[in-house]
A and B are shown apart, each in its own frame.
Chain A
């Protein structure tokens, strides 16, 4: 019994190629079916991953390692943080790289002759970092300006647009509390996500002035919120605990205050993301099933034709193994072509779109592997099983197969 020499395998490969070339339409459709099946899985999983990453980035974008403390204003006997609290927190909490207390005052200004409510925030220069503010034009105020209580102001993007129609308000001033404030900058939030986690006091018509300045010109004495930035994510729990202890020691009831980090939101994000992942897996499974059935249909369509082909080859002296290897090769060529094309489409498309929109697109290696494996399995299975059945048939039955 002759062994399977390279020469003979090459001959069988040539038979396989004849078989594929003899049915270009079927071959192309099978490759297309596999490509679509594989690509859809990879794309669907990528879309899901993009969504998940987006949710996580929204939360992290509010400010990394952020810890914030505020009086709830609820309860029978509400309390708020005061200036002394800020000094103690500033000096006695280890592991923070910045602290930004926020005073909040509401005033009315005239915008194009209309009275409009304006939020005036008084805070320290650390605010820009801690709360992830972007200065679109100009600069944030300095420690020195804060310490001296200078009359400088930053406008929110929205306000600047309303007042100056998008032009940089260079050299302009704004009248607040009957005083003339020099406009030094325009800011916006680093991500538009703070509102999503209820941490945005800077949306809408808002201005930022130095903390000490607002303290001097306004009667407001309650600190709206104190932001602190922990030096690292792992330092966050210790900072939260320390802040809580300090506030508890200085006030009647710690229940009147909240000390929070974004950890709870990240935990929520993880939950959302696992739910999303489960949904994705279900969708991917459906697209794999649909892709698989598509491949199966195309391969089954020509079973009768291929069965006669096999009958002829057996009648001419092919052995069962010769037939099986030839069909394995045919199915393998189609599956590899289809799978590769699918991955190129499924990974290339999102990567291209990501590059075009300057957005990182994660491609799940697992989804690529699973999609390819299923396409290969379905392709090989429905290529081999009919061939196997045909090669087991009585030759005349295979020849007469309808």
Chain B
């Protein structure tokens, strides 16, 4: 632990609680979680379904803000930020690859991938599309730019979603089961891409059920019943 103190933290959660309300009855999803991930670290989150790992990732990705506790993102306390204060952080510093991809169905994957760049509002439209095109080409989708998500295979959608998450070169990349729905060959390709991002210095936090994927991570966080069981294999 002492060694880590010298490094800067990408995310620090302290005593985070998250309670869902299902048909009026409170259901605790996270019960007092502390998480520290250093910048540049590759962390895997594992746990049985319903353990709260997706909830944890959503909170880390600033898309779930209905939690209690404290959250420091890259040195800023973001718990309590307003929606409009969170928007630029989500936009520029976080890349989120959703389990369901969440690509806009009516747009081409090029338009989809350009969205984070466009919402950043610091580049020309042409730059945004050039960047999006470059990311998609890196993901091997150079010949699918004008396709709608429904016209692509699951693996291609996964890669499009990753391309979109990388458009603004985020400091932290979050991915919810990025290989879950893929055959082993495609899964390996995705892991190679993520591994390369990590080598280039990105902070990587991903949820996985796949032990092989977890083994390529530097660290594994185990979530069970809304609590962390760190380091337990």
- Asked if A366 is at the interface of the complex by the 8 Å CB criterion, the answer is no
Our count of residue pairs bridging A and B at CB distance below 8 angstroms stands at: 77
Question: In the complex, are the beta carbons of A316 and B65 less than 8 A apart?
Answer: no
> Could you say which residues of chain B place their CB within 8 Å of the CB of A320?
83-84, 87
Identify B65's interface contact among A11, A394, A399, CB under 8 A: A394
**Among A7, A8, A396, contact of B63 (Cβ-Cβ < 8 Å):** A396
- The answer on a CB contact under 8 Å between B63 and A317 is no
How distant is B160 from chain A, measured CB to nearest CB, in Å? 13
Chain A, residue nearest B67 (CB) = A394
- 1/0 per position for B62-104, CB-CB distance to A under 8 A? 1111100000000000000001100110111000101010111
A317:B104 contact, CB within 8 angstroms: no
A139 interface residue, CB < 8 Å from B? no
Q: Within the assembled complex, what's the spacing in Å between the Cα atoms of A236 and B108? A: 77
Interface residues of B in 97-130 (CB under 8 A from A): 98, 100, 102-107, 111, 115-116, 118-121, 125
Query: Across the interface, do B106 and A18 meet the contact criterion of CB distance under 8 Å?
Result: yes
Tally of chain B residues near chain A (CB < 8 A): 33
**What residues on A are CB-neighbors of B168 within 8 Å?**
317
User: How close is B49's CB to chain A, nearest CB, in angstroms?
Assistant: 16
Contact B118 A11 (CB under 8 A): yes
Chain B residues contacting A312 (CB-CB under 8 Å) are 102-104
* Interface secondary structure of A, over-half rule: helix
The answer to whether A309 and B63 have CB atoms under 8 Å apart is no
Nearest neighbor of B115 in chain A, beta-carbon distance: A316
Check if B84 sits within 8 Å of A18, measured CB to CB.
Answer: no
Question: In the complex, are the beta carbons of B105 and A319 less than 8 A apart?
Answer: no
Question: Roughly how many angstroms separate A49 CA and B137 CA in the complex, as a whole number?
Answer: 65
**Residue pair A317, B90 in contact (C-beta under 8 Å):** yes
Q: Are B64 and A21 in contact (CB under 8 A)?
A: no
Given contacts A395-B63, A395-B64, contact A316 B106 (CB under 8 A): no
**Is the pair A22, B87 in contact by a Cβ cutoff of 8 Å?**
no
Determine whether the beta carbon of B105 is less than 8 Å from that of A22. Answer: yes
Contact size range, A: 20 to 34
Q: Which residues of the other chain, B, contact A322 by a CB distance below 8 angstroms?
A: 119
Is there an interface contact between A23 and B119, defined as CB atoms closer than 8 Å?
no
User: Are A319's CB and B106's CB within 8 A?
Assistant: no
Q: Is A315 an interface residue (CB 8 A)?
A: yes
B98 touches A399 (CB 8 A): yes
Chain A residues contacting B90 (CB-CB under 8 Å) are 314-317
Residues of A near B135 (CB, < 8 A) are none
Interface residues of B in 149-171 (CB under 8 A from A): 164, 168
What are 11 A-B interface contacts by the 8 Å CB criterion? A8-B121, A309-B104, A315-B96, A317-B87, A317-B92, A318-B87, A319-B83, A322-B119, A392-B83, A394-B63, A399-B100
